[in-house]
Amino acid sequence: DGGITQSPKYLFRKEGQNVTLSCEQNLNHDAMYWYRQDPGQGLRLIYYSQIVNDFQKGDIAEGYSVSREKKESFPLTVTSAQKNPTAFYLCASSSAGTEYNEQFFGPGTRLTVL
Amino acid sequence: AQTVTQSQPEMSVQEAETVTLSCTYDTSESDYYLFWYKQPPSRQMILVIRQEAYKQQNATENRFSVNFQKAAKSFSLKISDSQLGDAAMYFCALHQTGANNLFFGTGTRLTVIP
């Protein structure tokens, strides 16, 4: 079945540690996205990538980093520079061939800083 | 700048009744798409319905329909014959043609009362 997988589902981090969230898709989509979801704030874009080896900052990129070495994979690293990383993180992908940019979402990762 | 506003943080509806969720948006572009996404307790984002701005006809998907008022920049979602499985957070989202991401509202939590 085609889809997007994210791992782990739950992640705990101690302050000062970097952690990496995994996102993989087998939909053959060119574009991938990372969103952060906080209560009452909807989804906010962290980073996006339209093609391999290229990515762009979104609205709240500070304290995060990404890579796009393969079309299928778009991992997100939450660095120690992110002051308030506890949140729900959603990965999405879309096909570059459509105008309307319908995005398909993964099941998400809940990150908690201890 | 583009914004999406959902002014109803919470709504409730009796099972089998009809409910309407509100969304207003602002964009300077003439070419764009609007979406309603559903996020059930599993937190998986699911596309409910899509509306192209250039189409005057309101989109419909089974029990879900929209009231798209382009001049008023309004995009409400009507859910008919509400079911218990409709209970979820609902997010309105805007995509401007040529842009790279979706802009989300803050969501409306829908409760379905048996």
**CA distance to partner chain B, nearest, from residue A18 (Å):** 24
Task: Give the pLDDT confidence score for residue B100 in this predicted structure.
Answer: 73
Among B100, B108, B109, the residue to mutate for chain A (most A Cβ within 10 A): B100
**Position B56 pLDDT exceeds 80:** yes
CA distance B77 to B21: 5
CA distance A29 to A32: 7
Query: Hey, which residues does A66 pair with through a beta bridge?
Result: A76
Residues A108, B43: C-beta atoms closer than 8 Å: yes
> What does the mean pLDDT of chain A come to?
91
- Which domains, from first to last, does chain B contain? 3-113 (2.60.40.10)
Task: Give the pLDDT confidence score for residue A99 in this predicted structure.
Answer: 64
Q: In this predicted model, what pLDDT tens digit does every residue of A9-64 receive, in sequence order?
A: 999 988 889 999 999 999 999 999 999 999 878 899 999 999 999 999 999 999 99
Among A36, A100, A102, A110, the residue to mutate for chain B (most B Cβ within 10 A): A100
CA distance B61 to A18: 43
CA distance B61 to B84: 18
Task: Give the pLDDT confidence score for residue B31 in this predicted structure.
Answer: 87
Using alpha carbons, select from B1, B4, B11 the residue that is nearest to residue B108: B11
Asked if the C-beta of A17 comes within 8 angstroms of chain B's C-beta atoms, the answer is: no
Asked if the C-beta of A74 comes within 8 angstroms of chain B's C-beta atoms, the answer is: no
**Position B83 pLDDT exceeds 70:** yes
**Position A66 pLDDT exceeds 70:** yes
Q: Which helix (H) or strand (E) element contains residue A34? A: strand A31-37
Q: What does the angle CA A103 – CA A105 – CA A107 come to, to the nearest 5 degrees?
A: 175
**Position A92 pLDDT exceeds 90:** yes
Instruction: Please provide the distance, in angstroms rounded to a whole number, between the alpha carbons at the two ends of chain A.
Output: 36
Show the tokens assigned to A95: 């096909």
Q: Which residue has the tokens 């391999």?
A: A52
CA distance B71 to B1: 17
Task: Give the pLDDT confidence score for residue A80 in this predicted structure.
Answer: 87
